[in-house]
Amino acid sequence: MKAEVYSTTYRIPLTDAQQARLDRRWPDGDPFISYEKIEALLEPLPVEDLHWSGHTGQFLYFTVRGNDIEGTVAEVVARLENKLGRV
């Protein structure tokens, strides 16, 4: 038997500006950029467990599954930088 890495959880540090974009709210209190919007942005990539919160520090967490983990992470970072701004 041989074990292979199939999923890995990553943490991306967010700048103050990126965190501020994620923290923005509509007048009714709903987030301007919701989890659903970020998940849709990352489709069809094999990404799960997306999470960010002021309680966990300025980080965005996600789990990547599949055979091309490094390629998927690079694509996730590129898409997030396009949406939230570069570091």
User: 1-45, pLDDT tens digit by residue?
Assistant: 999 888 999 999 999 999 999 999 999 999 999 999 999 999 999
pTM for this model (two decimals): 0.86
Domain boundaries, the chain: 7-84
Q: Band of the pLDDT at 64, cuts 50, 70, 90?
A: very high
Q: How far apart are CA 24 and CA 85, in angstroms?
A: 15
The sign of the CA dihedral 64, 48, 73, 14 is negative
* Closest alpha carbon to 60 in 39, 43, 40: 39
Q: Which letter, b or e, does each residue of 67-77 get, where b requires 16 or more Cβ atoms within 10 Å of its Cβ?
A: eebeebbeebe
Architecture (CATH level 2) of domain 7-84: 2-Layer Sandwich (3.30)
